Structure 1
Amino acid sequence: MLSNSKQALIEQQPLHYTDHGQGDVVVLLHGLFADRQIWQAQVTHLSQHYRCIAIDLWGHGDSKFIPAKTRNLVDVASHIAQFLADIEIAEYHIIGHGCGAAIAAEMVLLQPSKVKSLVMLNAFIGFEPEVNCVKYQQWLDVMNQTKIITEELANTISTLMFAKGKPDHNLVNQFSQQLIKIDSQQVPVLSRFAHMAIYKRDTMELVEQFTLPTLVIIGVENQLRTVLESYLMSDDIDGASLHHLAGAGHLAMVEQPAQINTLLENFYQQQ
């Protein structure tokens, strides 16, 4: 586990994070339903040469609340930019997983001179396909009605987080139990954040503004994102590199940590 979190206040609400290592800063943003702990292997490896800041996004992990005026992922990107300014980070690399990559993309648009490189892991920064919106909205409806994440819903979500057809059942069960343990006060916050992540704007329309080194990684056995989406992003972002990770699902950083670490290390060495 990563060490006990630190916290920053953003509009009177605590944003939790961990800060390990020294050197160029790498900011790590997890995806929906995860938390900063999914980056444990990457922080352990990269912090030997970099300063790694892994953040619990609103409603996730220890960041149990959300600023009242938060409307969308653009606002969330502004919150993170404010936090980084408050701790005097002048420039940084950023890694985003899932909706964390959508937030990372917004940060590139918000602070193009400060973001040195972008990694998007199992993500899509365009509109969410309608079929996905319908499925995810059903999950949110259950959360909003029950004020908990039921065992059935936790198992459904967790199964989809890992490689199709050949998941590590210990990882699935562990993730499921983490979801079940989220308390009834935090679940509505998580649901509110999830709504923003699902119904995000189409940042693909703006990627011609991306002029920084970019790496797109997709797990070939991902059940929540598609290989086609990875091609769309890498094709539209000038100079972006694309890597397909065989046998990996949505939480590839947990399933194949060594492979992800190697990809990240090689990418940063090329900067």
Structure 2
Amino acid sequence: MPFIEIEGKPLHYQTRGTGFPVLLGHSYLWDSSMWAPQIDALSRHYQVIVPDLWGHGQSGRLPENTHTLGDLATHAGRLLDALGIGQCAIVGLSVGGMWGSELALREPGRVKCLVLMDTDRSAEPDVTLKQYSQMFNAIESLGSIPAPMIDVIVPLFFRRGATLDGEVHARFRKALAAFSADQLRQSVVPLGRLIFGRPDALASLAGLDAASTLIMCGELDIPRPPTEMARMAAVIGCRQMLIPDAGHISNLENQSFVTDTLLAWLDQHVA
């Protein structure tokens, strides 16, 4: 699988298929494999590019000068430059939607259409910001994510009330436990502080093209509830859609709904 060097660090990415390029951005604490069902389906019609977030998957550590969502958007743009891609579609979930929307605002001619999933561009609420900050401090100190904390983190990513005993849940638990001390201290914790300490950029979304932007959200998403989707859609003036029976990682909890919706949206806007 290929890598590109950005600011002296190796960024890993998957690429599959041919056709109009579609860039997928994954959630914090996951990696590009999160998109496996959609990669399989979309790559039959499009060129699908899926980078691993810094310190996640096979990517190297977070570059030292990375401090904002705009920096992450710049890195994605450099990946597209290296691949010779002048125009693409972006589908971003959670932090993938944060930097994806920023890239679309900065380079509107490059992003032909945009899908934002289970994400938000307003500031993190004070209550959850405090909770997450305490978790980051503990993880940084320990150099690991302890089992009791994993028990708290895992339910946040799935639909409210879900039974967390499936293969996807087990793989996620294993991945959280497998982060090394260096990954956590050099990349995962700093990224978490960057993501959840983000400034309020909600008003800036008015600069997105409403006709080519779609926002989706799991109807049972805990950290990024549908009220945030509605607030963003109102600013943009774009279409919004609830994903039934899904939480934060909605593309895995309702694979068929998300995949079918993405195929229809892409067929309409890039075909």
Bucket of the pairwise TM-score, normalised by the shorter protein: over 0.9
> In 2, distance between residues paired with 1:106 and 1:57?
16
Aligned mate of 1:178, from 171, 175, 191: 175
**Is 1:100 matched with 2:99?**
no
Q: What amino acid maps onto 1:191 in structure 2?
A: V
**3-state DSSP class of the match of 2:59?**
coil
1:225 equivalent in structure 2 = 224
The 8 Å contact of residues 27 and 54 in structure 1, kept in 2 or not, is answered as: yes
Q: Displacement of 1:201 after TM fit?
A: 2.4
- Partner of residue 80, structure 1: 76
Match of 2:163 in 1: 167
What TM-score does the superposition give when structure 1 sets the normalisation length?
A: 0.95
Residue 64 (1) aligns with residue 60 (2) = yes
* Cα offsets for 1:159-198 (capped at 9, x unmatched): 1111111234222222111110111111111101111111
Tell me the CA shift for residue 124 of structure 1: 0.8
- AA aligned to 2:143 is K
Partner of 2:118: 122
- Percent of residue pairs bearing the same amino acid type: 27
Residue segments in structure 1 that go unaligned for 5+ positions in a row: none
Specify the alignment match of 1:198 in structure 2. Answer: 196
Q: Does 1:149 align with 2:148?
A: no
> Structure 2, unaligned stretches of length 5 or more?
none
CA contact (8 A) 1:217 1:230 kept: yes
Task: Tell whether the 8 Å contact from 2:155 to 2:164 is kept in structure 1 after alignment.
Answer: no
Q: Secondary structure at the match of 1:104?
A: helix
C-alpha contact 1:46 1:265 (8 A) present in aligned 2: yes
Q: Between 80-89 and 10-19, report the one with greater CA deviation.
A: 80-89
Question: In 1, Cα distance between the equivalents of 2:131 and 2:23?
Answer: 30
> Which residue number in structure 2 is paired with residue 30 of structure 1?
26
Q: Which moved more, 1:58-67 or 1:22-31?
A: 58-67
Moved >6 Å (runs of 4+)? none
Q: For the residues of structure 2 that align with 1:71 and 1:231, how far apart are their CA atoms? A: 28
**Which of 10, 17, 22 pairs up with 1:14?**
10
Secondary structure of the corresponding residue to residue 116 of structure 2: strand
**After superposition, what is the alpha-carbon deviation per residue over 1:37-82, rounded to whole angstroms, capped at 9, x for unaligned?**
1100000000000000011011211113011111111111111111
Which one is further off, 11-20 or 217-226? 217-226
Counterpart amino acid of residue 111 in structure 1: E
In the alignment, the residues of structure 2 paired with residue 73 and residue 81 of structure 1 have an alpha-carbon distance, to the nearest angstrom, of 12
